[in-house]
Amino acid sequence: MALGWGTMIIMGASHQLLPVLTENRLFSVALAYVSFVLAAIGIPLLVYAFYTFQLGWPARWGGSAIVVAIFCFVINIWGTLTGGNRDNVHAVYAVTASVWLLLAAFTGLALVYNFTSPFLPQGSLAYLPFHAHIGIAGWFLLLVIGVGSRLIPMFLISKYANERLLWIIYFLINGGLLSFLFLFFLPAGLSFAWLPIIVVFIALVLFGYYCYCCYRERIRRQVDSRMKISLSSTGMLWIPPILLIILVAALPVGHVDSRLVLVYGFITFFGWITAIILGMTFKTLPFIVWNKIYHARSGAGSSPNPGELVDNSLFRAMMVAWLAGSLVFIAGICCRRVPVLRAGAALLVSAAVLYNWNVWKVLTYKSPAK
Amino acid sequence: MNVVTNNDLQCTIALAALENVLDPEIGLNVVDLGLIYRLEFDEPGLGIAVAMTLSTPYCPMGESITAAVEQVLKETFTGISVTIELTFQPPWSYDRISEAGKIFLSR
């Protein structure tokens, strides 16, 4: 989920959006292809290894391929940034996120090796929160805020700009992450586990405020459904840290409800990250396809709006299936009822099918004959 | 959306033609969006030099928009050469949107 769905699609989109963020050409298209091929080989290998729980060569080779893919991605981001506007806060977010991703991938690979040939003081499972939160907050959160803070005002045509606020958010998230790393390895660190969560939560509230100001000061009054979904995912950002605070509060009592842990993971990946991807795919993909079809015909009569390349009925059906599936699945986790979980999973699979169908329709879009 | 020119009449004709070039995402034309900075006409009527911008550098629609501007001007002034200078000095800002453009966007 985190690698195949979240990371792969966000890495792909980043290659497309980096030039807009850094105001510079992509450093290397060839490196982007190398990164894609390695990730496309490594991720299925790792999925196979986890599914069969054989953490031998498939996990090791798969993990290694992913680390090299991410290393290529980091070089590409760094090369693009150094040739462009270095003071650009959005680009700094993207570079920092990619470094956190590399660290998360290295940690993941080390945990895979530690499973079969232990070399760390504790078992691999003990380090999973460390690995997961570098990925969630360091990679996903930083990148989404860095890219979102550029694209949201751009698509809304908003007059609002507040670079200072974005820098404050940047330092809060990275400060929260660094304090989390420090506390993780400190013997008494668990007692202060709430500290990084509160710091990151404040950053999320400030980002929510930034998005609200962009929305309030928009020149374009009409907001399409894809943008609404992306904006609503900002509100969803606040739920995982609230659940984390409850979980951390339960730690000293020694009674951590496993259902809450599952809901936390589910809302982070199926809720927040998926909502952004569902909204932004159908906001940015049509641009790429539109440019291919209509570039040569610019100015030669009317051409559709890129948004018209998306099948809106399919999009609405997908969003309904995703929302219903998520709610039913969370209910299934809470009441521990397998039929409810199956119903939720079926709805989520329907949403995935509708997503792929709509992506396919956009990719194979043909201009109507005149 | 002040456009600098050396020929008011030709400029009016050119801007009227350029109102057919739309930003595909926004649906607003490049003139009301304030993307055109300068239109200079060679005295013998041989060429037009256009200085224009984009709402953001490396705008994904940039090449399509500049190609459309060039094509529309070539169609309007037959046999004339068109050179386009893409500039980000000064950078585009929302203040460049015309009143008509603001009304269009506030619908």
Instruction: Kindly list the domain boundaries of chain B, sorted by start residue.
Output: 4-105
Q: Are B70 and B17 in contact (CB under 8 A)?
A: no
CA A177 to mean position of chain CA atoms = 17
Q: Are A299 and A256 in contact (CB under 8 A)?
A: no
Assess whether the previous peptide bond of B90 is cis (omega < 30° from 0): yes
Q: How much is the CA Rg of chain A, to the nearest whole Å?
A: 21
Joined together, the tokens standing for residue A18 give 């980096």
Inter-chain touch A159–B94, beta carbons under 8 Å: yes
Q: Are A135 and A104 in contact (CB under 8 A)?
A: yes
Distance from CA of B104 to the nearest CA of A (A): 8
Single-letter amino acid code for the residue at A15:
H
pLDDT of residue A86: 64
Dihedral, CA of residue B85, residue B86, residue B89 and residue B95, to nearest 10: 120
Residue of A298, A308, A367 to mutate, interface with B, max B Cβ within 10 Å: A298
Single-letter amino acid code for the residue at A245:
I
With a cut of 0.90, is the ipTM above it?
A: no
Q: Are A22 and A80 in contact (CB under 8 A)?
A: yes
Q: Which residue from B58, B68, B105 is facing A221, i.e. has the nearest CB?
A: B105
How many angstroms separate the Cα of A198 from the Cα of each of A166, A172, A176? Answer: 18, 10, 8
- Chain B hits for A287, Cβ within 8 Å: 25, 60-61
CA distance A241 to A254: 20
Minimum Cα–Cα distance from A159: chain B residue: B94
C-beta neighbour count of B84 within 10 angstroms: 15
Environment class of residue B5 by beta-carbon count within 10 Å: exposed (0-12), middle (13-18) or buried (19+)? middle
Minimum Cα–Cα distance from A284: chain B residue: B60
- Chain A hits for B89, Cβ within 8 Å: none
Put simply, whether B94 touches A (Cβ < 8 Å) is yes
Q: Are A291 and A303 in contact (CB under 8 A)?
A: no
pLDDT of residue A283: 84
CA distance A68 to A64: 6
The secondary structure of residue A5, as a DSSP letter, is I
Joined together, the tokens standing for residue A299 give 């100015």
Q: Which pTM does this prediction carry?
A: 0.85
Joined together, the tokens standing for residue A318 give 């997908």
Which stretches in chain B have pLDDT values below 50?
A: none
Q: Which residue from A157, A221, A290 is facing B24, i.e. has the nearest CB?
A: A290
The Cα angle at residue A360 between residues A359 and A364, in degrees rounded to 5: 120
Inter-chain touch B24–A294, beta carbons under 8 Å: yes
- Chain B hits for A222, Cβ within 8 Å: 107
pLDDT of residue A188: 72
CA distance B30 to B74: 16
Helix (H) or strand (E) holding B51: strand B47-52
- Chain B hits for A155, Cβ within 8 Å: 25
Average pLDDT per consecutive 10 residues, chain A (370 residues; last block may be shorter):
82 84 86 94 90 86 93 91 77 91 92 88 87 90 90 86 94 95 80 87 93 89 81 82 85 77 89 86 87 69 79 93 95 94 96 95 79
Enter the CATH code of domain B4-105.
Answer: 3.30.300.130
Query: Which residues on adjacent β-strands are paired with residue B5?
Result: B39
Taking phi over 0 as left and psi of -120 to 50 as alpha, with beta for the rest, B34 belongs to left
Dihedral, CA of residue A274, residue A278, residue A279 and residue A281, to nearest 10: 120
Find, among B82, B80, B16, B21, the residue nearest to B54 by Cα.
B21
Inter-chain touch A19–B25, beta carbons under 8 Å: no
